[in-house]
Amino acid sequence: MFHKVIILSLGIFALTGCDAQKKSKISTKTTEMPAGTKTTSANNQNGIIYLNEGENKFLRDYQMNVTFKGVSEDSRCPEGVNCIWAGAALAQVEVMGTSTRPMILNLASIDYPGRNYRQSAEFNGYTITLQDVAPYPKQQDGTKALSGKYKIGITIKKADQSTDSTKK
Give the DSSP H or E segment for 31.
Answer: helix 2-31
6-33 as b/e: b if 16+ CB within 10 A: eeeeeeeeeeeeeeeeeeeeeeeeeeee
User: How would residue 23 be classed by pLDDT, with cut points 50, 70 and 90?
Assistant: very low
pLDDT in tens, 25-47: 444 333 333 444 444 444 456 78
User: What pLDDT score was predicted for residue 137?
Assistant: 77
What pTM value is reported for the model?
0.65
